[in-house]
Amino acid sequence: NKPVVALESTIITHGMPYPHNLSTAKEVEAVVRAEGATPATVGVIEGEVHVGLSSEELDHLACCKSSLKVSRRDLPYVISKALSGGTTVSATMIAAHKAGIPVFVTGGIGGVHRNGDNSLDISADLTELGRTPIAVVCAGVKSILDIGRTLEFLPFIFLLETLGVCVATYGTSNNFPAFFSRQSSFTSPYQVVNPEEAAGLIASILSLGLRSGVLIAVPVPEEHAAAGQQIEEAIRAAVTEASAKSITGKDATPFILQKVNVLTKGKSLQANIALIHNNARVGSQIACKLSKQMT
Ligand code: PSU
Ligand code: MN
């Protein structure tokens, strides 16, 4: 029952360019330690799932161009072939849960892609939240979703309800945050105002034996939220280019994130890093309170 915070690694292998990926991974671990918790970055190294990576293993994942993006469906293949890769939110949830870690921090989770109501391109992160009892602390759905457009966002909200995911916004408002911006036109069903309340939610889902997860949405800090409009235009352009180049499935998110970073001259990356630091701070405080409540 010591406070441990699980961290994902697709953000390292596919979400950010080198060397920002490596520095961010190490900074986030330092934030977790500074809050009195232990970081456990999850990844797959030569066919073994690691919960907690050494500095050398982090270097290896961040630098190695052959690292794969590993979601739930990829695990059997990657393990049987002794390959290495960064785990997405869904695969990280599985590993963290098996290791008995109830709190997991990331930047943003996958969602329903643009046009997902037609294409059914819906991230496995959502279904994982429906079947694995872990709290995911994030700043909302990943940047490439247009939160203002009801068609992409409503399926996301409804799906979480159908899957039985307990969604709460952290802080002074119950507005569901939109990754780079603090606001969306949607509200979360619940609100938690401090780490104790968030920990209470997690403790009760565990004690009830429910097998579904909790989503705690932390708005990006005010001072880093400004670049929203410019980022939104870049996202539109990147999504258009991805569809023109027929980039789909697991390649869509990495392609768009990299394109948006270039188009915003690195501003989206800066905002992304800032919100992850903030999520790590909040998630660690929640893990510390939860460990007190469980002992
Ligand atoms: N959001 C980001 N950066 C990322 C991801 C999401 O801002 O790197 C990663 C996470 O690992 C998430 C994955 O689990 O993308 C979702 O990918 P997909 O859409 O293929 O499910
Ligand atoms: Mn996807």
Q: pLDDT tens, 9-64?
A: 999 999 999 999 999 999 999 999 999 999 999 999 999 999 999 999 999 999 98
d(CA 132, CA 79) in angstroms, rounded, equals: 20
pLDDT score of 148: 52
Counting from 1 in the atom list of ligand 1, the atom nearest the Cα of 249 is 20
| CA distance linking residue 249 with residue 236, whole number of Å | 18
Mean local confidence (pLDDT), 239-257: 89
175 φ, ψ (degrees, to nearest 5): -65, 135
pLDDT digits (tens, 9 = 90+) for 273-284: 999 999 999 999
Q: What angle do CA 170, 27, 113 make, to 5 degrees?
A: 55
pLDDT-based confidence at residue 227 (cuts at 50, 70, 90): low
pLDDT, average across residues 75-100? 98
- Higher-pLDDT residue of 120 and 270 is 270
Q: Which range is least confidently modeled, 70-74, 209-213, 223-227?
A: 223-227
Residue range 148-185, pLDDT digits in tens = 555 567 778 888 999 999 999 999 999 999 888 888 87
Atom in ligand 1 nearest the alpha carbon of residue 254 = 8
Give 224's DSSP letter. Answer: G
Residue having the nearest C-alpha atom to atom 16 of ligand 1: 110
Q: Are 132 and 165 in contact (CB under 8 A)?
A: no
| ipTM here | 0.96
Pairwise CA distance, residues 85 & 64, whole Å? 9
What is the per-residue pLDDT for 145?
Answer: 57
Closest-CA residue, ligand 1 atom 11, reads 88
Per-chain mean pLDDT for the chain:
91
Per the CB < 8 A criterion, the answer to whether 32 and 129 are in contact is no
Q: Give the residues across from 49 on adjacent strands.
A: 44
Average pLDDT over residues 68-85: 98
Whose atoms come closest to the Cα of 10: which ligand? 1
Ligand 1: residues with CB < 6 A are: 8, 10-11, 14-15, 88-89, 107-110, 123-125, 142-143, 250, 253, 257, 272
Predicted pLDDT of residue 118:
77
Write out the catalytic residue numbers.
Answer: 8, 142
* Beta bridge partner(s), residue 70: 87
Q: How confident is the model at residue 121 (pLDDT cuts 50, 70, 90)?
A: confident
- Report the nearest-CA residue for atom 3 of ligand 1: 15
What is the torsional sign of CA 202, 32, 49, 141? positive
- What's the rounded Cα separation, in Å, for the pair 197 and 92? 24
Report percent pLDDT > 70 for the chain.
Answer: 95
- pLDDT of 144 higher than 60: no
Q: How confident is the model at residue 252 (pLDDT cuts 50, 70, 90)?
A: confident
% of the chain residues with pLDDT over 90: 72
Higher pLDDT, 36 or 294: 36
d(CA 263, CA 258): 9
Given pLDDT bands bounded at 50, 70 and 90, which one contains residue 235?
confident
Centre of ligand 1 to C-alpha 227, Å, is 20
Residue 121 CA to ligand 1 center (angstroms) comes to 13
Whole-number Å distance between alpha carbons of 273 and 117: 30
| Ligand at shortest distance from the CA of 69 | 1
